Structure 1
Amino acid sequence: MTARWLLVIAVLVVAGCGKKDRYRDIDPHDIKPWVPKSEPLSKYGNHSPYRVHGKIYRVNNHPAGFEQTGRASWYGKKFHGRRTSNQEVFDMYKLTAAHKTLPLPSYVEVTNLKNNKKAVVRVNDRGPFVDNRVIDLSYAAAKMLDFVHDGVTDVHIRVVNSPRDLQKKPITQGLTYVQLGAFSDQQTAYNLARKASQLLGIETFVTILTTPGGILHRVRIGPIDSEFKVNQLLNRITQSGISNAQIITD
């Protein structure tokens, strides 16, 4: 074998070793878990609506109770050390993620539906802007969920606000509605009710309230019997592009 070929082989071996070193093999048991907590919204990365590749996205202002099922991918050394959407430094060895619409930061429990392994990640980035993917996970998260070699996997995600928020609390006082708006103009109210019914596939009605200032036409959905269902509905309303929805208890 010529000296030239020996040199080529040596270069390839060194290059391969370098690539392996950059993806340090980590034991999932050694990865530091997050303890979900309430955090203020990041100064950057929460502008809404925003546009990517010609498509408009709206940040979910009511993430409690949010759940989603779809494909997950992961990202690592190409972005390691770069700034995330909220201007934190991406560390592929931490349990972080990118999502298109959840506020930054958010804590999300991710379940790999192929093996039922779970991880709580902190969402601090935007993406993945691919139609068939719902979340982009760090290398560490992919290791914990055991799909590094697959590249993508099917997952279920749900927002976790605190270690105790998995309880579904019943609403015990009064009747609770989601109110989409209140208008003096009757036609405006009925137009919104019709639009919401079409977008959400849920009966939306108008009630009339007489006030000292005049008549108000209130556009509402409900009554709703649990906080969990209210949060789910608020997520759907936000994603449909209807803003300013409020929770009303009578």
Structure 2
Amino acid sequence: MTPTVFITGATSGFGEACARRFAAAGWSLVLTGRRAERLYALADELSAHTEVLPLVVDVRDRAAMEQAIGQLPPAFSTLRGLVNNAGLALGTAPAPECSLDDWETMVDTNIKGLLYSTRLLLPRLIAHGAGAGIVNLGSIAGNWPYPGSHVYGASKAFVRQFSLNLRCDLQGTGVRVTNLEPGLCESEFSLVRFAGDKAKYDSVYAGAQAIQPKDIAETIFWLLNQPAHININSLELMPVSQSWSNFAIERA
């Protein structure tokens, strides 16, 4: 049976790279994204290699997600993998200066969107049984604090704990769960965070040899292709150029 993977946020960055990696290996794909033109272009390209089902849907919209997943064709009644990639960070300003709208958008996308896709697809993953797996895109921001991370980091801490709790609930089903926690990665994700400021984007990555989307895609492919009896609970990775800074000390 051809394995099938469901990837959210497939129109750029990690999601697009994952779609390409799994398509190259012959997996069938269900791809979601909000930008129809990009999604359909990617689906058309990859359909030369495998079966691709594009779903233009916003993971934040529970009703739309329920409808889209409820109408999946019989060929997708079981899933081998779910990659909960859709997510974002907005801004780097300190908490007193942030927009509540931005905070709410991060919560709706990084937490609620992930919950919707996970809960709605669990029956299809459980139907597959042994070897099925969920990879949730966390972040080192969920493990380590830094200025300007506030709600973004908190949302990724939620993803980490949810992943661990989900593992407990899925014991006996054969379905595996991994929280993947990348550090400095170069992708459109950061351009969104900097509100399209290309100069700031470039300055962050200058000389850093940051992780690339294809690196994340390769890691996710590896995670979902481990032997069925192996679960990688969490995996934190950073580029060699990145490490930890000192504690901040306010001095009188």
Higher helix share: 2
**Larger Rg belongs to:** 1
Higher strand share: 1
- TM class by shorter-chain length? under 0.3
Using the size of structure 1 for normalisation, the TM-score is 0.24
Using the size of structure 2 for normalisation, the TM-score is 0.24
